[in-house]
Amino acid sequence: MSPDSPEHDAERDDPVRNSARDEALDGRGAAEADRTEEQNAQRTPGQAAGVRRASQHLDLAAKTGAALLGSTAPAMEVVDAMLDIVEHGGVDHVDVDVTYSQITLTHRPRIGPHSVELEHIRARTFDYGRYVHAEMLVQRFLSGELELDDALAQAGRLRRDAHRYPWWLTRLAAGTAGVAAAVIFGAGWITAVFAFIANVMVDWLFARLSSRAWPVFFTQAFAGVIAVAAAAGVNAISPEVDSSQVVVSVIIMMLAGMTSTGGVHDLITGWYLTGVGRLAEGVVNTVGLVVGIQIGIALAHGAGAALTITPEVRFGADPLLLTALTSAALAVCFGVWAQLPPRSFPLAALLSLIGWVLFGVAIDRDIDPVWASGIAAVVIGLASPVAAQLVRVPSWILASVAIVPLLPGVALYRGLFAGADGDVGTGMLLLLSALGTALVLASGITLGQYLTAALLRGPFKLRSRFVPQFLGPFSTSRERIDRLSEAHDQEEDERSVD
């Protein structure tokens, strides 16, 4: 009988047949429940305790992994942490599956029923404090400092715990970071004041709209409108002042809070599903920012407001040492806004300063800004694992904070300006240059961290949660062991050749 035939429709809609089928299904479900109850009843107290303990370890791994993934941690670190937890509890035959918005742990023991733990990532927040808390929770649990029940209680609070810094301090940090970004590119005191106001307003707006579950696309668009309105305010007070740096400062802060660099990192290391999802999120949010700035420019022109903004934003025309120190201040302020632990501020500032000096020297040697950014990113990536081990925070966090001043805010701004001025071809080239800079920054960090991690895990035999390992995608403990063995064998072969 064809599934589309009238006879099939009549059979499907027959209430007698449906009732009989439902009773049969209910009977099978009841029989399965009876078998499960019988198996539970046959378990010894020790077996029942083992099953309960395995379930608790799976629950801890899922909650911790969800906190990490929702706080922009690389997919590789997320899976590695979850497998460490279940292995520590002696729970074998566990398969971990990470997607952009869901974590699944499947336990298939040789004896007993299979079980599945699911955690959904309902919201992704740029919260490095939660990222660090989750990593430290894993570290303390693996070292035996935390018992299982205490670790579960702390994991359950990861999403609800109050931030390390009060709201007024993070808002002040957002405004001050905006000032630093504007000063790096040559802002005067009037422009700096309006950069502070614009970034404080954007941070307030984000907090309000996020609490009401607004899509980030629209909050990014509102941020673009606020940036142009602040630039118009500068020109209303002092028409001869170039207010471009206000817009650039907002762009840099908005780009810093996106997931595009993390997406590129996941793609490079082979975690394509999460990488594509994060990169798509970053692109959509960037489009929202672009749309907002274009709307702001159109509204300003329609209202007759004179905007003294030009595409010629300076790449640190002030003395290199001054802009480098300002870059370090920007990294610290952004770290406060992102809830980074205070112990990491000195090294984050130092990495940012070194990166900016290298960038400035490369620009002075007439190297293209895209490649100059890449040189700085590689050096930051090389140093970040060592710095991370010293201050006990993940290396990806330190590197991400250090590259904030290098984000392509100027290239994106120039592309928008050219497009608004009617030069669509030049605008598209500049926007592609901004995309290229973001890709080069993420690639440079990953390359630098890979080289340093290979050294630390090679001759020095260092195994730390704060030093990344690059093993390619894996989902089970066996796959991870096999990849580690392959890497070890390759290192031994290389040493024997040398």
DSSP 1-28: --TTSHHHHHHHH-HHHHHHHHHHHHHH
Which residues neighbour 408 within 8 Å (Cβ) at sequence distance 6 or greater? 255, 373, 433, 434, 435, 437, 438
Determine the average pLDDT of the residues in 213-229.
90
The angle subtended at Cα 354 by Cα 317 and Cα 171, nearest 5°, is 75
Q: Which of 7-21, 52-66, 295-309, 456-470 has the highest mean pLDDT?
A: 52-66
Percent of the chain scored above 90 by pLDDT? 21
Query: Is 111 or 37 the better-scoring residue by pLDDT?
Result: 111
Highest mean pLDDT among 105-119, 139-153, 469-483: 139-153
222/210 Cα distance (integer angstroms): 13
Return the pLDDT at 333: 95
Closest-CA residue to 335 (of 441, 176, 223)? 176
Half-sphere exposure of residue 87: CA atoms within 13 angstroms, side-chain side: 17
Q: Looking at mean pLDDT, say which of 240-244, 378-382, 412-416 comes out highest.
A: 378-382
Identify the pLDDT of residue 194. Answer: 94
Percent of the chain past pLDDT 70, that is, above it, reads: 75
pLDDT tens for 48-88 read 666 788 888 899 999 999 999 888 888 888 888 898 898 88
Better-scored residue on pLDDT, 417 or 214: 214
CA distance 442 to 423: 29
d(CA 155, CA 165): 20
Amino acid at 304: G
Which amino acid, 102? Answer: Q
What's the mean per-residue pLDDT of the chain? 79
Average pLDDT over residues 277-304: 84
What is the model's pLDDT at position 176? 95
Higher pLDDT, 424 or 487: 424
| Phi, then psi, of 92 in degrees rounded to 5 | -105, 175
CB 58 within 8 A of CB 94: yes
What distance in Å separates the CA atoms of residue 260 and residue 301, rounded to the nearest whole number? 32
* pLDDT band per the 50, 70, 90 thresholds, residue 196: very high
For residue 298, the cross-strand partners are none
Residue 139 pLDDT > 50 = yes
Confidence of residue 141 (pLDDT cuts 50, 70, 90): very high
Q: What is the pLDDT of residues 68-78, one digit of tens each?
A: 988 888 888 88
**If pLDDT is split at 50, 70 and 90, which confidence band does 186 have?**
confident
**379-414 residue pLDDT tens:** 999 999 889 888 888 888 899 899 988 887 777 777
CA distance 73 to 133: 12
- Cβ neighbours of residue 94 closer than 8 Å, sequence gap 6 or more: 58, 83, 86, 105, 106, 107, 108, 476, 477
Q: Encoding tokens for residue 14? A: 């027959």
C-beta of residue 291 within 8 angstroms of C-beta of residue 145: no
Q: How many angstroms separate the CA atoms of 27 and 20, rounded?
A: 10
Coarse DSSP helix, strand, coil percentages of the chain, rounded to the nearest 5 percent = 70, 5, 25
Tokens for 396, please give them. Answer: 């990806």
Cα–Cα nearest to 216, from 131, 134, 278, 298: 278
